[in-house]
A and B are shown apart, each in its own frame.
Chain A
C-alpha cells in the first residue's frame, strides 16, 4: 500500500496518556516548516490544524497517516470520547499508523498505571497485545522517550517518497534502530580498553561498568543523529537509560548491575564468554593516556 501523493496526505496527531514530550521534541526539528508543508495537518495538540479536537472526536473524517503519541488506555478520553472509540475509527482507513514514542510502541512510562489494560498500539511491553495487532503491517513503531524529531521526519519522508521501510522484530525502521546508542559515543575508546569513569561530571571514562549505561544494549541512533543537533546523553556524561527498548522504564538507572564486578548484561549479541575474555585481556594493559585527564584546566590556575 502506498500513499496517494497527488494531494497532500492528511496527517492526524492523536494522543493517549502522555507528557507531550514527543510533540515538543518534534517542534525542535530544524526543517519543520518544509516537512509540514508536505502534509495537511488535520489535528495536532499544539500546532494550528484544520480541525478542532471536538471535530476530530466527532469521528466524521479520515486520515492517511495517523500518529499516535502516548500509552493506549482504552478508557482514557479525549473530549470525553474514550480512545477505544477514537483509535479504531481512524486506524481502520489510515494507510500508515505511526506509534510515536516508547509509550505508544510498548506501553512505556504509563503502562504500569493500569497494567491489565494499558499497552502500546501493537505491544504490551514485549508481547503482542495491543489494540492494532490486526493492522500490524501498517503500523510503524518509533520508540524513544522522547522520539528524536529526525526519526519521525525521516519516517514521514520515506513514506512520502514511497520507500519500503524495512523494520526489525519490534516493527521499528531498521534505518533508525539497526545500530546501538553506543555507536558514535565519544567515550568508545574507554569502552574498548575497559577504562571506567571515576565518577559523574567527568569527560573521561566509560559509563558502562558502574554508571548504568545501556548504550551497548540499546537500539537507537542517539550518537549518530545528535540530539538538538548538538549532543547526546553519553556526550554529557549521563548514562543511556535504554529508553527505546520495551524494558523502559527500568530501575536503578545510574548503577550497573554487576556479578563479580562484571556487568550482568553484556553488549548485545556478544556471548558472555567472548566478552569476559576480551574484557579481561583489555584490562591487563594499562594505557596511561586513557588514565589521565584530557584537559587539565586547573594546572595553570
Chain B
C-alpha cells in the first residue's frame, strides 16, 4: 500500500509517497506540488532585470541566485567577445556575502529543523531554542547587509562587480558583527572556541564539549544515525569558490567534472504531478551540499567521519554543522582581504551588444545552483535554473533512486522522514 505524507516546516512543502514492507520503506517517491514559472517570467526582459527577479526565487538563498545570475551574464559577455574584468575587491565581497548567506541558512536549519525534529524521537530531549537560530542568522545577515544593502533580496551584484563601495568604518562594523556572531556561536552553539572546533579531527573530540552541538551529535548517535541514511556515496561540487573545490567524488576520491555533462529529466512521480525536474551528471545522481564540499576540500574531521560512518545520516548532518563554522572562519579571513583602494565595478560595453549564451554556477547552501541565460542584444531569450535540491531530492525509479530516496529506503517511516529533512529541503527553489 502506498501512503502519502505531507512534509512542511521545510522551505515550502513536499509530499512523500511511501511504499512500506513490514514497516520498512521499500520505495518512496518525492513530489513538489507547487509551480511558479520564474524562467518564463524572465523571457523578453533585459538581462539586468534578472538581477532583481531571480533573488526572488527563494527567500532563504536569494543571494546565491543573484550571484548565479551575475556570473551567467558575465559569461555571456565573455562569449560575445566582450569579457568583463571583475576586481579582486568585488570578487571578495561577492564571496563574502554568499558565504554569510550559507551561514545563516545552516544556523536556521540546525535550530529550526534539526533540533526540533530530533526532539520528536522518543528518549531524545534537547532544549528547543529556535529563536537562537534566528538570532545568530540575523547577525550574519546584518554583516551581509553592510555590503549588500539588505537581506533577503539584495541586488548589489551587477556585471563588472558590485554597486557598493565600502569605507573602512563599514568594514570595521562588518567585522564587529562577525566577531559578535563568533562569540555567540562559541557560547551558545559550540561550547568551545571556533578555532578549537575547527581543529577537531575525530568524532571523539565532541565528547570533550558540552553544548548544543555535542548534544545533537550524541542524539544522532543514540538514534543510530551513523548506521542509517546511506546514499550512493557519490558527490559533486560545481561552483567555483575558495571555500571548496570543483570535483565529483566517488567516496573521497576526486575526479574532474565538465559542466556541460549536467542535464535534467522529468521526475518519476506516478501518484501526483511534481514540478521538480531531476538533475543528473552523465546520467547519474550525485549528492551535493556541505558534505560534498568538505570532502572536496579534504577536511580532516569530515574525512574521518566518512571513513568510519560513510555517507550516513550522521556524517551528512554533522558536515552541515561543521561547514557553518568553517565558513565563519573563511568570512573573517575574507574581510581582511577586501582592498578598498580597488574599483568596486568596472565599466563594460553596453548590454545591447551582447548576443550570446552564458552559464553561471555557484555553490548555494544546499549545493550547486546553475543559471543558464541566452541573450539576444541584451534581451533574455531563454533562462534556465537548476537548483541543488533537484540533485539531492530528485525522484527517480526503484532501479535508479536519487540520493535522498536511496537514503530513505530500508528505514522505518519516522527515520526516513528525518533523513529526508537532513538534506535540508528547499521546495521553494526547486519549484521555481
Q: Which residues of A contact B (CB under 8 A)?
A: 17-25, 27-30, 32-33, 36, 45-48, 52-54, 76-80, 109-110, 112-113, 145-146, 199-203, 222, 227-238, 241, 243, 249, 251-255, 295, 297-298, 301
From the candidates A145, A228, A237, name the one contacting B156 in the complex (CB within 8 A): A237
Considering the chains assembled together, what is the distance between the CA atoms of A295 and B49 in angstroms? 31
A297 pairs with B11, CB closer than 8 A = no
Give the residues in chain A near B343, CB-CB below 8 Å: 201
A146 pairs with B59, CB closer than 8 A = yes
Q: Kindly state whether residue B209 has any CB partner on chain A within 8 Å.
A: no
* B345 smallest CB distance to A (angstroms): 3
B165 pairs with A228, CB closer than 8 A = no
Considering the chains assembled together, what is the distance between the CA atoms of A253 and B158 in angstroms? 12
Q: Kindly state whether residue B138 has any CB partner on chain A within 8 Å.
A: yes
B137 pairs with A27, CB closer than 8 A = yes
* Known A46-B108, A79-B6, A236-B164: A230·B146 in contact at CB below 8 Å: yes
B153 pairs with A229, CB closer than 8 A = no
Considering the chains assembled together, what is the distance between the CA atoms of A295 and B37 in angstroms? 45
B40-48, B249-257, B300-308 - the one binding chain A: B40-48
From the candidates B36, B138, B341, name the one contacting A298 in the complex (CB within 8 A): B341
A-B contact sample (5 more), CB < 8 A, given A28-B141, A227-B145, A253-B155: A20-B58, A21-B152, A231-B150, A233-B155, A236-B154
From the candidates B9, B11, B45, B150, name the one contacting A228 in the complex (CB within 8 A): B150
Interface residues in B1-59 by Cβ distance below 8 A to A read 6, 8-9, 11-13, 33-34, 36-37, 41, 45-46, 48-49, 51-53, 56-59
B163 pairs with A236, CB closer than 8 A = yes
Contact with A along B330-342 (1 / 0, CB 8 A): 0000000000110
Considering the chains assembled together, what is the distance between the CA atoms of A90 and B36 in angstroms? 25
Give the residues in chain B near A46, CB-CB below 8 Å: 9, 108, 112
B341 pairs with A241, CB closer than 8 A = no
> Considering only CB atoms, which chain A residue lies closest to B6 in the complex?
A79
Give the residues in chain A near B344, CB-CB below 8 Å: 200-202, 237
* A286 smallest CB distance to B (angstroms): 23
Give the residues in chain B near A298, CB-CB below 8 Å: 341
B149 pairs with A24, CB closer than 8 A = no
Question: Please, how many residues of chain B have a CB less than 8 angstroms from a CB on the other chain?
Answer: 66
Considering the chains assembled together, what is the distance between the CA atoms of A110 and B59 in angstroms? 14
> Considering only CB atoms, which chain A residue lies closest to B426 in the complex?
A20
Considering the chains assembled together, what is the distance between the CA atoms of A236 and B108 in angstroms? 26
Q: Kindly state whether residue B142 has any CB partner on chain A within 8 Å.
A: yes
* B215 smallest CB distance to A (angstroms): 18
Give the residues in chain A near B116, CB-CB below 8 Å: 48
Q: Kindly state whether residue B161 has any CB partner on chain A within 8 Å.
A: yes
Considering the chains assembled together, what is the distance between the CA atoms of A247 and B74 in angstroms? 29
B127-135, B227-235, B277-285, B359-367 - the one binding chain A: B127-135
Q: Kindly state whether residue B356 has any CB partner on chain A within 8 Å.
A: no
Q: Kindly state whether residue B147 has any CB partner on chain A within 8 Å.
A: yes
* B368 smallest CB distance to A (angstroms): 20
B341 pairs with A201, CB closer than 8 A = no
B41 pairs with A25, CB closer than 8 A = no
Q: Closest 10 CB pairs between A and B?
A: A201-B345, A201-B344, A20-B59, A227-B150, A21-B59, A236-B164, A228-B145, A237-B163, A236-B149, A53-B8
Considering the chains assembled together, what is the distance between the CA atoms of A256 and B155 in angstroms? 17
Contact with A along B94-108 (1 / 0, CB 8 A): 000000000000001
Considering the chains assembled together, what is the distance between the CA atoms of A30 and B136 in angstroms? 11
19 contacts between A and B (CB under 8 A): A17-B34, A19-B56, A20-B12, A20-B58, A20-B60, A21-B59, A27-B134, A28-B151, A79-B8, A110-B36, A113-B37, A146-B152, A200-B160, A201-B90, A202-B345, A228-B141, A233-B154, A238-B154, A252-B49
B163 pairs with A112, CB closer than 8 A = no
> Considering only CB atoms, which chain B residue lies closest to A19 in the complex?
B59
* A258 smallest CB distance to B (angstroms): 16
Considering the chains assembled together, what is the distance between the CA atoms of A279 and B162 in angstroms? 29
B147 pairs with A236, CB closer than 8 A = yes
A112 pairs with B145, CB closer than 8 A = no
Give the residues in chain B near A112, CB-CB below 8 Å: 41
A233 pairs with B150, CB closer than 8 A = yes
> Considering only CB atoms, which chain A residue lies closest to B151 in the complex?
A228
B428 pairs with A236, CB closer than 8 A = no
* B371 smallest CB distance to A (angstroms): 16
B149 pairs with A238, CB closer than 8 A = yes
From the candidates B144, B151, B164, B428, name the one contacting A201 in the complex (CB within 8 A): B164
Interface residues in B385-408 by Cβ distance below 8 A to A read none
A23 pairs with B34, CB closer than 8 A = no
B49 pairs with A251, CB closer than 8 A = yes
From the candidates A201, A231, A232, A241, name the one contacting B165 in the complex (CB within 8 A): A201
Q: Kindly state whether residue B148 has any CB partner on chain A within 8 Å.
A: yes
A53 pairs with B341, CB closer than 8 A = no
* B2 smallest CB distance to A (angstroms): 15
A146 pairs with B130, CB closer than 8 A = no
Among A17, A19, A28, A112, residue most surrounded by chain B Cβ atoms (within 10 Å): A19
* A109 smallest CB distance to B (angstroms): 5
Give the residues in chain B near A20, CB-CB below 8 Å: 11-12, 58-60, 428
Considering the chains assembled together, what is the distance between the CA atoms of A286 and B417 in angstroms? 67
B59 pairs with A232, CB closer than 8 A = no
Considering the chains assembled together, what is the distance between the CA atoms of A78 and B33 in angstroms? 9
From the candidates A21, A52, A230, name the one contacting B153 in the complex (CB within 8 A): A21
* B31 smallest CB distance to A (angstroms): 11
Interface residues in B141-186 by Cβ distance below 8 A to A read 141-142, 144-156, 158, 160-165, 167, 173
B13 pairs with A53, CB closer than 8 A = yes
A78 pairs with B13, CB closer than 8 A = yes
B56 pairs with A235, CB closer than 8 A = no
Q: Kindly state whether residue B62 has any CB partner on chain A within 8 Å.
A: yes
B150 pairs with A32, CB closer than 8 A = no
B59 pairs with A113, CB closer than 8 A = no
Considering the chains assembled together, what is the distance between the CA atoms of A238 and B138 in angstroms? 21
> Considering only CB atoms, which chain A residue lies closest to B53 in the complex?
A249
* A17 smallest CB distance to B (angstroms): 6
B153 pairs with A76, CB closer than 8 A = no
A48 pairs with B8, CB closer than 8 A = no
Considering the chains assembled together, what is the distance between the CA atoms of A91 and B149 in angstroms? 35
Give the residues in chain A near B153, CB-CB below 8 Å: 21, 145-146, 243
Considering the chains assembled together, what is the distance between the CA atoms of A227 and B340 in angstroms? 23
* Known A253-B48, A254-B158: A45·B9 in contact at CB below 8 Å: yes
* Known A53-B8, A110-B36, A201-B344: A230·B173 in contact at CB below 8 Å: yes
Give the residues in chain A near B428, CB-CB below 8 Å: 18-20
Considering the chains assembled together, what is the distance between the CA atoms of A238 and B60 in angstroms? 20
